Amino acid sequence: VGVHAVTQSEAGEVVYLNGQLVARSEARIDPEDRGFLFGDGIYEVLEVQAGLPLFAQAHYERLVRSAQAIQLSVPLDKDGFLRTIRELVAANGVEEGLVYLQVTRGVAPRSHAFPQGEVPPTVFAFARSQPPDPSLAQGVAAVVLPDQRWYRVDLKTVNLLPNVLASQEARRRGAYEAILVRDGVVTECSHSNVWMVRGGVVYTHPADTWILHGVTRAVTLQAARQAGIDVREEAFLEVDLWEAQELFLTSTTAGVVPIVRINGRPVGTGVPGPVTGQVSRAYRQAVEAELRRLREES
Ligand SMILES: Cc1ncc(COP(=O)(O)O)c(C=O)c1O
């Protein structure tokens, strides 16, 4: 972070733009940024608890993987990424919240193919306070919608229009999330991964090109397995949803969230189920372990 770094007390919200912390009101992105014109960019969202960004290594690795797949280079190495995020969190005094970081293919005269010559990527990030929503623990409603996205949704790109439309349709119908279905197969949700419990076994779609490889999904998988829960990375069908004993979703900002209604019908008994409870506790323990590790490190 450069010499012009400012803090929140001087300038309100402080954001990171191309190597510097600046007042949000001073942050300017060129209208011919390829992120704006083409959605030609990638992003990450990290959770902050007790002022500490969680699972930053996994988020950095996913960012680099997304970047490589679209032939973009991330102008931050792992240490630079971690430092940037920590400084941004500190500058904004975020205790509970999130960090958003986006990298685009930079500014160039509008033309679909990559710009010729050296164009520096644009890197933008913000950190924001967002206290956890305790009502999520009581379970949320979801609706089932077609998965209208492209074939590489494992890449965390800013091309989110199908996700935006699905999320809006869910909200219009009074639901928190949209469960997406492609060719009869449940993939994931508009901004989270989805899991089903049947016969005491937990199922979630394998981490291939048809879902985003959620960091929370990976942490939850490992934590649930360590807790002795039978978890299988096997796809399930839309028809299975109607018979599911329990459903839940996972995401960075929400954690493990029970789904208690789909398309207006109760899931199982219509209240958060026991397996979801076990998985949720296992996930919270993994978060506690991560917080302990981060505190020891600092
Ligand atoms: C489409 C989609 N799937 C899954 C997730 C969950 O991923 P993570 O646990 O890394 O937040 C997200 C997060 O925003 C998402 O947008």
What's the CA-to-centroid distance between 154 and ligand 1, angstroms? Answer: 10
- Contact 261 CB / ligand 1 (< 6 Å): no
- Contact 193 CB / ligand 1 (< 6 Å): yes
Q: Which of 150, 192, 248 to mutate to test the pocket of ligand 1 (most atoms within 8 A of CB)?
A: 192
Q: Which of 251, 253, 283, 290 to mutate to test the pocket of ligand 1 (most atoms within 8 A of CB)?
A: 251
| Residue whose token pair is 């189920």 | 273
- Contact 62 CB / ligand 1 (< 6 Å): no
Is residue 100 within 8 A of residue 35, CB to CB? The reply is no
CA geometry: angle at 276 spanning 232 and 127, to 5°? 95
Active site residue 78: no
Residue 237: beta bridge partners? Answer: 185
- For 268, residues 6+ apart whose C-beta sits below 8 A from its C-beta are 244, 245, 246
How many residues in the chain? 298
- Predicted pLDDT of residue 11: 58
**Phi then psi for 246, rounded to 5 degrees?**
-145, 150
Six-digit token pair at 211?
């879902």
**Phi then psi for 154, rounded to 5 degrees?**
-70, -15
Least Cα distance to 212 among 148, 283, 152 occurs for 152
Which sign does the torsion angle of CA 39, 41, 47, 51 carry? negative
CA gap 149, 172 in Å, rounded: 20
| Tens-level pLDDT at each residue, the chain (298 residues) | 443 455 555 558 999 999 999 999 999 999 999 999 999 999 999 999 999 999 999 999 999 999 999 999 999 999 999 999 999 999 999 999 999 999 999 999 999 999 999 999 999 999 999 999 999 999 999 999 999 999 999 999 999 999 999 999 999 999 999 999 999 999 999 999 999 999 999 999 999 999 999 999 999 999 999 999 999 999 999 999 999 999 999 999 999 999 999 999 999 999 999 999 999 999 999 999 999 999 999 8
- Contact 212 CB / ligand 1 (< 6 Å): yes
Ligand 1, atom nearest to 62 Cα: 10
- Contact 214 CB / ligand 1 (< 6 Å): yes
